[in-house]
Structure 1
Amino acid sequence: MLQAAKHGNIEFINAMRNANPDLLWAAIDKNKRDIFSHAILNRRKVVFQLIHDETVNGRKEIVRCRVDAFGNSLLHLAGKLGPLSDLHRRSGPALQMQRELLWFKEVEKLVHPKCKEAKNAEGKKPRHIFTENHKELVKAGEKWAKHTAGSFTLVATLITTIMFAAAFTVPVLLFIGILTARYAENDFLKSLPLKLLFGLIALFFSVVSMMVAFCASLAMLLKGHEGIIITAMSFACIPVIVLLPSQLRLFIEIFKSMSDFYCSLFPEDYLIDDERLIQLWTAEGFLTIPTNNNPEQFGQACFNDFVPFIFQQVEEKEEKGVYRMNQLLHKLAKEVAGDENIAVDSMGERVKEGTLHASFDFGLKQRN
């Protein structure tokens, strides 16, 4: 069981649990670590999510407060650096650091509040363990982000020099924001990835706009010389053709890291009530409630803005809206997420290697 937890073999764990549910609690190594401890140490989210299973709920409080032979709680273990095989799933130390922070925040939501400030046998708190184990990754992330931003800043500066429109300075400002960031641990969670994401988008549109302006000017100057115009325009498209494939992978990696792709985790035929989804958004930190605003009303206002694009209202029940996800958006999210995110309909379903997020049907009910 412990080896299965280390390697993320959810099929074996489910088979053993179905045969004898007590095996979940009986499997403890010499350091007093159970399968959930090993799932956290090895970043096996599919195994870790078993803690939310209805068969575990009766003993969840025990898991939340459990410590190993060294006085480490689950949050202490989450503060340790993940295995290299998991880190290398992300391209770039900055995105690897973001993944580590997300793991720490996820476990922090689960453990008992007293565990957040509890000390282990060495007198260290969970946050101290995290900072101590991720020093080198923070430095590597800072170096990677500055190198990436510096490369794009050079291109954006050249575009700004050639063009006169103020709009073309946007990518320069975004990448300068990365170069001048303070690079604290929490900056890797949202601030830096967002700046890099928007910087890439702005840079791409700047290049495209520059090419359009160049082609338009050329067409006016060489009117009547179609052969020369077509040849020049063909060469003008080369920068766009070169830039797009080279940076598409980085763009997708950043986009993936910025969300848990709820759209891909919910099957097409699930009905979602707005209150539940707003609670999910709030729990994940996607909604920042302004001062003096009612959280429920603010969340509902945000939800209403998304309804025309993402959801289709199908019925109303007890004054609450029930919605079905837009099929085209669901297919797009599934395509982008790939095998990293799955929706598990039965505990015996096989989970592919490389899966990072899995949803289980415990709260939502499938309807036709």
Structure 2
Amino acid sequence: MKKEVNSNGKTPSALFSGEHKALAKEGEKWMKNIAGSSMIVGTLIAAAMFTTAFTVPGGNDNKTGLPVMIGTHQKAFLFLMASNAVSMFTSTTSILMFLGILTARYAAKEFLKSLPTKLIFGITFLFFSMVTMMASFGTAIYLTLIEQVAWISYPIIVFCAIPIALYSLLQFPLLVEMISRTYGHDIFDKPSKKLYSFETDTTTTI
């Protein structure tokens, strides 16, 4: 009955879109606010990781041009570069996802799958970029202080987990709800067991 029309000559989709214009405007405003603020965070992370990639701790060898610590602390240095690169890639991907939200047409059909999917991927990639950014920062602190006061680097690394925990507490409930609403049960699924028990009790009472 998707193409059937009512007495006013409107199809179900046209009628639904007309009666939910205010809700669509609110949803558009909400998504643009989240995408805009998250895009700023992703841009800052990408800029910081790009700069850090070329200003490595310990400097470079004057003869070979290679980083000095790649020979003295190879494992920690490689972890620093790997976490830096992953943070750069994931933050850039999240920026593109949020950019897709800001430039969307915001048609009624896009609220069903397209826009929620972009927001889910944007928040997820932003979370991974933040985790790898803090891992890169903690490793850089460790490499910088390992020769002098190595003990102070360990509490700093522990404190790096605080922003990650705060971001998880603030954004994960939204992310879980978005995933369940977008890819969970269909809106036409009915709680058949509860309905059956209710009908049984009603019949018995009668």
Same fold, judged at TM 0.5 (above): yes
- Correspondence for 1:125: 11
**Counterpart secondary structure, 1:122:** coil
Distance 1:349-1:121 versus aligned 2 partners, 3 A rule: closer
Write out per-residue CA displacement over residues 91-131 of structure 1, whole angstroms, 9 at most, x where no aligned residue.
xxxxxxxxxxxxxxxxxxxxxxxx43333333333222112
| 1:289 corresponds to | none
The corresponding residue for 2:118 is 195
Question: Percent same amino acid at aligned positions?
Answer: 39
Which residue of 2 is the match for residue 233 of structure 1? 157
1:213 aligns with 2:136: yes
- Distance in 1 (alpha carbons) for counterparts of 2:93 and 2:103: 15
- Residue 242 (1) aligns with residue 155 (2): no
Higher helix share: 2
Question: Counterpart of 1:347 in 2: which secondary structure?
Answer: helix
CA separation of 1:121/1:206 partners in 2, compared to 1, >3 Å: closer, same or farther? same
Q: Which amino acid aligns with 1:201?
A: T
Cα deviation for residue 171 of structure 1 reads 0.9
Partner AA of 2:155 in structure 1: T
Shift, 1:346, TM fit = 8.2
Give the C-alpha shift of residue 141 in structure 1.
Answer: 1.1
Give the Cα separation in 1 of the matches to 2:194 and 2:30.
Answer: 40
Displacement of 1:345 after TM fit? 8.3
- 1:347 pairs with one of 196, 199, 202: 196
Contact persistence 2:123–2:175 (CA under 8 A): yes
Counterparts in 2 of 1:285-324, with a 5 A limit?
Answer: none
Q: Would the aligned equivalents of 2:42 and 2:95 in 1 still touch at CA under 8 Å? A: yes
**SS of corresponding position for 1:344:** helix
Rounded to whole Å, the distance in 1 between the matches of 2:40 and 2:156 is 24
Name the TM-score, length of structure 2 as normaliser: 0.69
Question: Per-residue displacement from partner, 1:166-197 (whole Å, max 9, x unpaired)?
Answer: 41311111111111111111111111000000
Partner of residue 142, structure 1? 28
Deviations 1:297-322 (A, max 9, x none): xxxxxxxxxxxxxxxxxxxxxxxxxx
Contact 2:35–2:99 (CA<8 Å) still a contact in 1? Answer: yes
- Contact between 2:142 and 2:154, CA under 8 Å: does it hold in 1? no
Once the two structures are superposed, the pairs formed by residues 28-107 of structure 1 within 5 Å of their partners are: none
**Greater RCO (Cα-Cα under 8 Å, separation 6 or more):** 2
- The corresponding residue for 1:258 is 182
TM-score (norm 1): 0.40
Code of the residue aligned with 2:197 in structure 1: it is G
Q: Which has the higher strand share?
A: 1
Residue 343 of structure 1, CA deviation: 6.7
Work out the CA distance in 2 between the residues paired with 1:341 and 1:159: 44
Paired residue total:
160
Structure 2: 5+ residue runs without aligned partners? Answer: 51-84, 200-206
Report the Cα offset of residue 349 of structure 1: 5.7
Q: Structure 1 regions of 5+ residues with no counterpart?
A: 1-114, 263-283, 285-339, 351-368
